[in-house]
Amino acid sequence: MALDRWVALVLLGICLAYGYAAWFTMDGNLAPFMRRNPIWPSTFPKVLSVLGIFATLIILLGIEKAAPKDAEIDYRRLHEYHLGQALLLLALMVAYALCLRPLGFLFSTSAFLILGSLTLGERKWHIMVPVAVSATFGVWYLVQEVLGIYMRPLPGFIGG
C-alpha cells in the first residue's frame, strides 16, 4: 500500500475516534436549556469528523485522480526532499505556541508568519511584511472585537 493510503488509514482511525467522542460523549452533560438549541457545542466536531472520514475514505478507496508515478513519495529517498524546511517549520510552530502568551498575539503571529514565509522561500519583504502584519491585525480584530474573545495582543511587560 502506498504511503498516502497508510497516512489516510491512520487519519481515518483518528477521525473515527473523534467522531465517536463528538456523537456519543460530548452532549451527555448539556444543560437542559442547551438541548433545545439548534447548534450544540458538538456540532462543529461532528461536521469535522464526517468530513474527515469522507476524505480519508476517498483516498483509501482510490477514488481521487491517480497522480503520475513521479509524484509519489518514495520513503527510501526521503533525504532528497526538503526535510530541513519541514523540520524548521515544525520548530517554528512549537516556538510560536510557546511564545504566544509571553510575547502576545500580535508580535508572535507576525513573527511566525514572516519567519515561516522566509523558511518556505519568500524573499519579497515589501509584500511579506505588510501581508503578515495586516493578516495578524485582521485576525486579532475579528476574534477580539467581533467575537468578543480576549486575546492578549501585547507582551505582559508592556501591559498586554
- The CA distances from residue 45 to 7, 36, 99, 128, in Å, are 21, 18, 27, 33
Q: What is the pLDDT of residue 29?
A: 74
Asked whether residue 66 is domain-assigned, the answer is yes
How does 133-144 read in b/e, with b if 16+ C-beta sit within 10 Å?
eeebeeebeeee
* Domain span at 23: 3-80
Asked if residue 90 and residue 132 are part of one domain, the reply reads yes
Distance CA 33, CA 129 (A): 47
pLDDT in tens, the chain (160 residues): 678 888 899 999 999 999 998 888 877 777 777 777 777 777 888 899 999 999 999 988 888 766 566 666 667 777 777 788 888 999 999 999 998 888 888 999 999 999 999 998 888 899 999 999 999 999 989 888 887 778 777 776 676 5
Domain count, the chain: 2
The rounded distance, in Å, linking the Cα atoms of 11 and 13 is 5
Q: Is residue 76 part of a domain?
A: yes
Q: State the Cα–Cα distance between residues 136 and 119, nearest whole angstrom.
A: 18
Write out the three cell numbers for 80: 532528497
Burial of 147 (0-12, 13-18, 19+ CB in 10 A): exposed
Let me know if residue 92 belongs to a domain: yes
Statement to judge: residues 41 and 94 lie in one domain: no
Domain boundary among 65, 80, 95: 80
Residue 150 — left, alpha, or beta (φ > 0 → left; ψ -120 to 50 → alpha)? beta
Cβ–Cβ under 8 Å, residues 53 and 9: no
Residue 117 near residue 132 (C-beta atoms within 8 A) = yes
